[in-house]
Amino acid sequence: MNNERRLVKRIEAGHRPPGASPEIVEFAPARGAVVPVELRDTYVNADGEVETIDAGVHGLRPVRRLDVFDRMHDQLTPAQVAMGRHYRDLVERHASAGVRCSSIEAVRSGGSGQGSFIDAVLRDREKIRVIHDRIGTGAAMAVRRVRPSSRGSRVTIMDRRLVDMVCLEDRTISEVLRAHGWCEKGQTRRALRQALADCLDRMAGPVVGQRLQSAVLGPSPGELGFEEDPDHVGRLRRVQNSS
């Protein structure tokens, strides 16, 4: 019966979603679940106002594969979802480095040849290493604070394994808990979800605040006959000629 239910769900997921281009095959069970992609474009109209319009050709929208973040979009912030998908795409691109064109397409440079291909592979590897360092080698601390009576078999879920199962293996929070023998209670799900959110925040790196900076191009103020005004901080005044 379970197998029959999974088969029915797989068949139902193969239908073309509403809003997708009619040129897409309407029924394809092997394709899996997909969602339409909304293409938007921003431009300045004749009145000088900024407008956002549908950029799809004749209103047609392509589709992409439904991933775990579509099922968790209301549980994570847009920045966390974007980081998870970025990590997934980065790892998949690096894993397919044996297919040369797959990494060359990601290089935004004018060069070509074997050198640029190797450079792309090395850059991807370095980015992945930085992300792994940010994830760390510890366990999901939020989960370890749950009482033993609520933790089932008490199998430790490491931060790195949690991220890889969700981002790379497309597993949900409940599936991660089951794979490690944990109880699927609301408390454990919330704790593991918070641990995942913390990992995704660390993966994005530190947030650098915007700072107002200034630069002088060309001759310095002194060379142009100006000096700092002692009565007004940040202002210049023309140097008085004593002669």
Average pLDDT over residues 41-47: 79
Tokens, residue 155: 């199998």
Q: Reply yes or no on whether the pLDDT at 97 is more than 90.
A: no
Cβ contact 161:195 at 8 Å: no
Same domain, 17 and 106: no
Instruction: Report the chain's C-alpha Rg in angstroms.
Output: 27
Share of the chain above pLDDT 70, in %: 69
Q: Reply yes or no on whether the pLDDT at 154 is more than 80.
A: no
Look-up of token digits 């901080």:
233
Cβ contact 177:154 at 8 Å: no
Residue 235 located in a structural domain: no
Among 26-35, 88-97, 168-177, 220-229, the minimum mean pLDDT is found in 220-229
Same domain, 43 and 150: no
Which SS3 state, helix, strand or coil, does residue 211 take?
coil
Same domain, 196 and 135: yes
Same domain, 8 and 107: no
Final residue belonging to a domain, choices 11, 38, 66: 66
Same domain, 131 and 191: yes
Tokens, residue 173: 């929070």
Handedness of CA 96, 99, 100, 103 (dihedral sign): negative
Residue 12 located in a structural domain: yes
Residue 11 located in a structural domain: yes
Residue 220 located in a structural domain: no
Handedness of CA 169, 175, 181, 185 (dihedral sign): positive
Tokens, residue 53: 């319009």
How many domains does the chain contain in total?
Answer: 2
Phi and psi, residue 195, nearest 5°: -65, -40
Residue 237 located in a structural domain: no
Same domain, 110 and 140: yes
Same domain, 41 and 90: no
Same domain, 56 and 94: no
Tokens, residue 216: 């002088």
Average pLDDT of the chain, as a whole number: 77
pLDDT one-digit tens code per residue, 190-238? 999 999 999 999 999 886 655 545 555 555 666 666 677 677 666 666 6
pLDDT one-digit tens code per residue, 1-34? 567 777 777 667 777 877 777 777 788 877 778 8
Most confident of 124-133, 140-149, 152-161: 124-133
HSE-CB of 101 using CA atoms within 13 angstroms = 0
Same domain, 77 and 197: yes
- pLDDT confidence tier of residue 40, bands split at 50, 70 and 90: confident
Nearest to 143 by CA among 172, 171, 184: 184
Final residue belonging to a domain, choices 43, 66, 89: 66
Look-up of token digits 């040129």:
23
145 CB-near residues (< 8 Å, 6+ apart): 191
Final residue belonging to a domain, choices 49, 66, 83: 66
Cβ contact 103:95 at 8 Å: no
Same domain, 87 and 202: yes
Among 17-31, 42-56, 144-158, the minimum mean pLDDT is found in 144-158
| More confident position, 60 or 221 | 60
Q: 44: which strand partners?
A: 50
Same domain, 54 and 116: no
Which domain, by its residues, includes 57?
Answer: 1-66
Same domain, 76 and 55: no
Residue 74 located in a structural domain: yes
Residue 32 located in a structural domain: yes
Handedness of CA 110, 116, 117, 119 (dihedral sign): negative
Which SS3 state, helix, strand or coil, does residue 49 take?
coil
